[in-house]
Structure 1
Amino acid sequence: MKEVKSMTKKTFGVIGVCGANGNLIARILEERGYDVIGTDLSSAEKCRFSKSLEGYDMELYYGETPDEFFEKSDYIVPPASLSKKSAIFKKIDKSLFELEDVIDNFHTEKPVFGITGTNGKTTTTTLLKKIAYDNGIEPAEHNLEKMQGNAEYIPILQSRLHGDVAILEVGTFGVPGTVKRIVECAEIQAGLITNITPDHLDSLGSFMDYAHVKGEFIGELNSKQLIVNGQDPTIMGLLREYDFNGDLITFGIDWMPESVNSKECVCGREIKVKEIISGCGYYFCPCGITTPQVDYIATNIDLKNRRFDLHTPDEKLEVQMSIDGLHNVYNVTGVIIAAHEFLKLPYDKILESVATFTGVEGRMEKVAEINSTEIYVDYAHNPAGVQTVLDQFEKLFGDFTCVITVSSESGHDGDLAIFNNALEYAKYVVPASAASQKIACELIRDDSSLTEKILFDHVDDFVKKGTLGASYDEVREGIEKALTMDCGLIVAIGEAATKFKSCVDDL
């Protein structure tokens, strides 16, 4: 490891400032008082993250890396992906200062809070940041435009940027060790787990394999503070498996279960869960995992008026939301606890912020109304997330047409589960993604009566990118097809629906 203290010259040349890591490293170095020169093969016009560099005093070279860049730099910061055989690497004749050197030399120097889970992470993170801002506390922001930034090295580098606190969304691409590395290297001191439901099964193979990747969060925070959804048996099972001995705070909601489904316990048994939302509710396993008496409980929930009472260990709070859905009662409850425990804010200040939070772009977001038909998009892209969101739409609005733009990260089984959830809750289903079209073809082949409910006429050959399962034109065509049905509401689900929501302007 290179130590900054031993360096007498302090000009860093950062290669790849239009990439996420290079951009963040350049900003970290300048915020710590070093001179920074940046370069990138992208032009200034095509630099994806150029806006986040505005306001920094950096000399930037776009489109090429001239000899002058190397002459002015005392140390070169190359991208981790840069091949040592590349032409630009061969031009480096100065000492290297690499990604790991940045992590080792520059620490967070602020309180750091992490939020993980399968669903609800972004809403929870965004609301907690809003509460911080509203109360004069500035969170560190990566400011990478249109980048969720919850995995790889982004949270780790984000925690080192300017701010009073760091509030980090911790995700995973289904790779063991990812969450462990983020918690350790971002120096997270406390955290919240929303839920753990099946996802990334294509890369991990089984639900429990995926659960244990999320469980790394518990293992790394074992003696610290954790706020968890106590009505999720997977979370409670992992807490026991990791022998968690820190400050544990549990929360849940008082609601009549509407279905009973199976969920694998950490002991290997299939247990019955009386579900409030997908994968969470009331449960008992012979191994001893059972629904606890939670520390914070939401009661008297009025979804129509977006109100509920929250019983804390000390008092009862009256909570007014500006967002919809039972799943958001869980999200808001977890955030209230985090704001009180981690940000040390009084409840009255927290509740003021909660009441004015109108949600996250792409989450139960109304994007248009065409001929009296309301059109919503939602980012839900895994079976549990889709089930929860569509269940809430049905509760709140009644009949709707569902446009599926998803390609599940759990492959065919995930695509099938998502489609079946759409069939259960929607009046009509429009498969817009190639993956959902293939499922529709299979289902209709086995049961021709489904042609009355599924608006299906072809299978395209779109190649998915992660969960992006459809193109702009396919999302537009799917919504256009949904507009022909006798429903006053269209719900388009998936990453493509949120990314290409502007397609409604064509309609």
Structure 2
Amino acid sequence: MNLHFIAIGGSAMHNLALELHEKGYQITGSDDTIFEPSKSRLEKKGLLPKEFGWFPNKINLTIDAVVLGMHAKADNPELLKAKELGLKIYSYPEFLYEQSKNKTRVVIGGSHGKTTITSMILHVMNYHEINVDYMVGAQLEGFDTMVKLTEKNEFIVLEGDEYLSSPIDLRPKFHLYKPNIALLSGIAWDHINVFPTFENYVEQFSIFTNSLTNGGIMVYNEEDIEVKNVVEKSENSIKKYPYTTPEYKIVNGTTYIETPEGEMPLEFFGKHNLQNMAGAKWICQHMGVGEDEFYEAIASFKGASKRLEKIAETTSAVVYKDFAHSPSKVEATTKAVKNQYKDRKVIACLELHTYSSLNPTFLKEYFGALDNADVAVVFYSPHALEIKKLAAITEKQIKDAFQRKDLIVYTNPTEFQEFIFNQNFENTALLLMSSGNYGGLDLNKFKEVI
């Protein structure tokens, strides 16, 4: 099969292209720019476009189908040519569904925790040498790509993103998968540019719940009031399995949980991650992994990439980076670090980088999000606002939103980096939260300065 990828350089798109190339598909693609690591990975397999840009002459009747990425625009010249020729055009989630129609589809949804829960499930399956297909939003230790598609595996585990499918398909991705087994971890308003009201956002999770196949299984976090309402009010003919945070304790910086075999130490921490583990355990049990087998495997799970990822440590200092950027994630992650390091000074740094986080109306959702930190810092780039064509934000607006008088705000990357690297890291835990890079912060330098 000949497939052409419009916007092949995206994190998800290039992984799908690599996996299909391994399966023997003929793959071509285009993009206006491609960053690392996508660029090197595509180049290694001979899939990197010879030049960047959009070239309608690449689109012809020898192509069986086009896979369209979100990065492309609705007026993309290659897309218009594909439409003109009447070629089949798939969004990323549509194509994944086509590849998994005959499998048991397990879809992990929620505003937060999706990648971690999916990663936990795949870690457990990999530990017990159970082969499953998958699509996950982070590169995992022990896995070559973020996508795996086979003809023979019974299950496929899909991270169910609620963002839009493609420039010409404005349905949330997770509405297209039609799960046999699903999970909802939490609902906290996000993607304000697409879902302008909280009610509109919550509705997407109701639609997802009702998209489960007849007799399907929904595992859900009943400690999240919105999730509980959505699932328990659903009249879809599905089986409902609630979960809650397991009992745990922290001793000398290590988190322990109770299991049927007694106390067990974990490599990860934070109440939100223990909730994630509880959900993952239910899913694994529905996939045939017993409780004892689950605990045996999860004991060696260190966490998903960029999710409370330890980047430097000494006997008296530690530095974590985390993908957290929405208010609920920022609050949960900051609280987790403070609980884990109660006797240390916690410095929490947040970069406002996404469309939602840079929206003056949405900013008020961050009220209290950094309250668990001893030192709270917010960084944002006025240039990012210009790129996203958003109104300027003042330091006062940010301080008013977080409602923290001692909040430190930086807009200059150099000044922010000077502040961070000149800290006294004795008896300190530093947390860096962002989906960006703080204007070019060198994370390797922390190994020298702490």
Q: TM-score, normalised by structure 2?
A: 0.74
8 A contact 1:320–1:354 mirrored in 2 = no
Q: Give the counterpart of 2:215 among 204, 212, 223.
A: 223
Q: 1:474 to 1:405 in 2, by over 3 A?
A: farther
Which residue in the other structure is 2:388 paired with?
Answer: none
1:327 partnered with 2:272: yes
Which residue in the other structure is 1:51 paired with?
Answer: 41
Which residue in the other structure is 1:137 paired with?
Answer: 130
Q: Give the counterpart of 2:372 among 414, 425, 430.
A: 425
> C-alpha separation between the residues in 2 aligned to 1:185 and 1:448?
40
1:306 partnered with 2:297: no
> C-alpha separation between the residues in 1 aligned to 2:415 and 2:159?
30
> C-alpha separation between the residues in 1 aligned to 2:82 and 2:98?
26
Letter in 1 for 2:376: V
> C-alpha separation between the residues in 1 aligned to 2:78 and 2:226?
49
Which residue in the other structure is 1:467 paired with?
Answer: none
Q: Give the counterpart of 1:238 among 202, 206, 230.
A: 230
Q: 1:201 to 1:86 in 2, by over 3 A?
A: closer
Which residue in the other structure is 1:268 paired with?
Answer: none
Q: SS where residue 319 of structure 2 aligns?
A: strand
Q: Which moved more, 1:76-85 or 1:384-393?
A: 76-85
Q: SS where residue 405 of structure 1 aligns?
A: strand
8 A contact 1:179–1:213 mirrored in 2 = no
**Cα offset for 1:402?**
1.8
Show the 5 A alignment for 1:46-445.
48=38, 51=41, 62-63=50-51, 74-78=62-66, 80=68, 81=72, 86=77, 96-99=87-90, 106-141=99-134, 160=149, 164=153, 165-173=155-163, 182-183=173-174, 185-221=176-212, 223-253=215-245, 298-299=246-247, 301-304=248-251, 305-309=254-258, 319-342=264-287, 344-369=288-313, 372-398=316-342, 399-407=345-353, 409=356, 411-418=359-366, 420-422=368-370, 424-434=371-381, 440-442=395-397
Q: Which moved more, 1:438-447 or 1:223-232?
A: 438-447
Q: SS where residue 99 of structure 1 aligns?
A: strand
Q: SS where residue 329 of structure 2 aligns?
A: helix
Q: TM-score, normalised by structure 1?
A: 0.67
**Cα offset for 1:111?**
2.2
> C-alpha separation between the residues in 1 aligned to 2:175 and 2:318?
45
> C-alpha separation between the residues in 1 aligned to 2:86 and 2:41?
29
Q: 1:96 to 1:320 in 2, by over 3 A?
A: same
8 A contact 2:175–2:207 mirrored in 1 = no
Q: SS where residue 496 of structure 1 aligns?
A: coil
> C-alpha separation between the residues in 1 aligned to 2:83 and 2:281?
50
Q: 1:120 to 1:498 in 2, by over 3 A?
A: farther
Letter in 2 for 1:169: E
**Cα offset for 1:354?**
0.6
**Cα offset for 1:133?**
0.8
> C-alpha separation between the residues in 2 aligned to 1:194 and 1:349?
22
Which residue in the other structure is 2:432 paired with?
Answer: 492
8 A contact 2:321–2:431 mirrored in 1 = yes
Q: 1:445 to 1:210 in 2, by over 3 A?
A: closer
Aligned residue pair count? 419
8 A contact 1:49–1:145 mirrored in 2 = no
What percentage of aligned pairs have identical amino acids? 15
Q: Which moved more, 1:244-253 or 1:15-24?
A: 15-24
Letter in 2 for 1:433: Y
**Cα offset for 1:367?**
1.7
Q: SS where residue 204 of structure 1 aligns?
A: coil
Q: 1:364 to 1:67 in 2, by over 3 A?
A: closer
> C-alpha separation between the residues in 1 aligned to 2:138 and 2:230?
35
Q: 1:228 to 1:241 in 2, by over 3 A?
A: same
**Cα offset for 1:114?**
0.8
> C-alpha separation between the residues in 2 aligned to 1:27 and 1:206?
37
Deviations 1:51-104 (Å, cap 9, x if unpaired)? 36867xx88873399999889x73353454588894897699987343279578
Structure 1 unaligned runs (5+)? Answer: 1-10, 148-153, 254-297, 461-470
> C-alpha separation between the residues in 1 aligned to 2:39 and 2:3?
18
Which residue in the other structure is 2:389 paired with?
Answer: none
Structure 2 unaligned runs (5+)? Answer: 386-391
Report the structure number with the largest CA radius of gyration. 1
8 A contact 1:309–1:318 mirrored in 2 = yes
Deviations 1:401-431 (Å, cap 9, x if unpaired)? 2222124625335434436322x22222222
8 A contact 1:14–1:37 mirrored in 2 = yes
**Cα offset for 1:357?**
0.6
**Cα offset for 1:322?**
1.4
**Cα offset for 1:132?**
0.7
**Cα offset for 1:358?**
0.9
Q: SS where residue 75 of structure 1 aligns?
A: coil
8 A contact 1:126–1:360 mirrored in 2 = yes
> C-alpha separation between the residues in 2 aligned to 1:382 and 1:425?
16
**Cα offset for 1:230?**
1.4
**Cα offset for 1:129?**
0.4
1:454 partnered with 2:407: yes
Larger RCO (CA under 8 A, 6+ residues apart): 2
